[in-house]
Chains A and B, each alone.
Chain A
Amino acid sequence: MSLILKISLASHVILGIIAIIFFYAVWLNLFKQKLNLKLLKFSSLTGLIAFLLSWLTGGYYYVVYYGNAVRPGIKGGQFPWAHTIVMEAKEHIFLFLPFLAAISFIVLWFFGQTIATDAKLKKGLLFINAVIAVIGTAIALSGIIISGAIRQ
């Protein structure tokens, strides 16, 4: 694996984890009685950027390397389901994340002032951030399952 591919894979993983951490922070902080809007805005922006960069770096690694060099090894190995089920699910479900993250970002940045008074909006935002954190975590665990199936 070339250096650029190693950097792509490492960036994909770490940026994905950073994004999950920031959206988990948004979810957690939305439960507080006194909302810290500055922190919520900063977390959603950082999380969104991290998800987008993770998407790009992961996409580059997948197109340039995974499809030709890794996938055949997994499919022909001891754990073929790591690709046929887990990777197939991961690469489709992952697509939701940047869009959900963008919704959370837009609501916080453009309607942030009304969250404290609008219970319905706050409930919706809580739900979206919970979905982002849960799907993000599932995607991260899928990544471990897929990587673990690669045996040299």
Chain B
Amino acid sequence: MQILLTAGHIIGTVLGVGGATFAEIFYLKSSRDGVIDPTESGFLKTTYFIMRTGMIFLLISGFGYLIWYRFTGQEALMYNPRFWAKLTIILIILANAILLQAKKISLNIGSAISLTSWYGALILGSWRTLETGYLQILIFYITAVFAVYFALKIIKNKIRIK
């Protein structure tokens, strides 16, 4: 059972983080001329679909882990601040997707949140020895979102076709 859960979680992470990375690369490449044509839009839609598939894998296997903890007497793990920080970041990914779809935030902000969040969730999931509080993790995460936003802005300006 645990092997199945781990496999599901790894597949979800790979699809999600990989999808977020390629979504950003495709977005940066396709917005070089300031216009996203239908072919480029098709590539972006495919990567978004892959990211959403990854999220479904992550959610099902993640809650599978929680059931496993409950059955094996490891309930204390559910009060771990690192786990709640990861959950918060996953909720931010979901809210970000809604805001992007509803066109309530720009693609520049949305993609910075998405990219940072997916990598943040990956780091929090794999850094099992991290002993930091919930607020500290979130402050670091918010700082990282701003840093990624400005870094992507610089890259976008540098590669723009003049």
Give the residues from 80 to 132 in chain B that come closer than 8 angstroms, CB to CB, to chain A: 87, 91, 94, 97-98, 101-103
A141 contacts the other chain (Cβ, under 8 Å)? yes
Give the residues from 108 to 152 in chain A that come closer than 8 angstroms, CB to CB, to chain B: 137, 140-141, 144-145, 147-152
| A151 CA / B103 CA spacing, docked (Å) | 45
Among B18-26, B29-37, B65-73, B145-153, which stretch is in contact with chain A? B65-73
Interface size on A, residues (CB 8 A): 25
B76-A151 in contact (CB<8A) = yes
A14-B101 in contact (CB<8A) = no
| A17 CA / B66 CA spacing, docked (Å) | 12
Contacts of A32 in B (CB 8 A): 101
A147-B70 in contact (CB<8A) = yes
| A1 CA / B70 CA spacing, docked (Å) | 11
A144-B60 in contact (CB<8A) = no
**If the complex has contacts A31-B101, A32-B101, are A148 and B59 also in contact, measured as CB distance less than 8 A?**
no
Q: Which of A1, A18, A144 has the most CB of B within 10 A?
A: A144
List the count of A-B residue pairs having beta carbons below 8 Å apart: 53
B70-A9 in contact (CB<8A) = yes
How many whole Å from A146's CB to the nearest CB in chain B?
Answer: 9
Contacts of B77 in A (CB 8 A): 148
Contacts of A27 in B (CB 8 A): 98
| A134 CA / B74 CA spacing, docked (Å) | 28
How many whole Å from B107's CB to the nearest CB in chain A?
Answer: 14
How many whole Å from A17's CB to the nearest CB in chain B?
Answer: 5
B56-A21 in contact (CB<8A) = yes
A148-B75 in contact (CB<8A) = yes
**If the complex has contacts A14-B60, A28-B98, are A6 and B66 also in contact, measured as CB distance less than 8 A?**
no
A10 contacts the other chain (Cβ, under 8 Å)? yes
A24-B94 in contact (CB<8A) = yes
Which single member of A14, A21, A141, A150 contacts B70 (CB below 8 Å)? A150
Give the residues from 1 to 47 in chain A that come closer than 8 angstroms, CB to CB, to chain B: 1, 6, 9-10, 13-14, 17-18, 21, 24, 27-28, 31-32
A17-B60 in contact (CB<8A) = yes
How many whole Å from A31's CB to the nearest CB in chain B?
Answer: 4
- Taking A21-B59, A144-B66, A150-B75 as known contacts, 18 extra A-B pairs with beta carbons closer than 8 A to each other, sorted by chain A number, are A13-B63, A14-B60, A17-B60, A18-B60, A21-B56, A28-B97, A28-B101, A31-B102, A32-B101, A137-B91, A140-B63, A141-B87, A147-B66, A148-B75, A148-B77, A150-B70, A151-B76, A152-B73
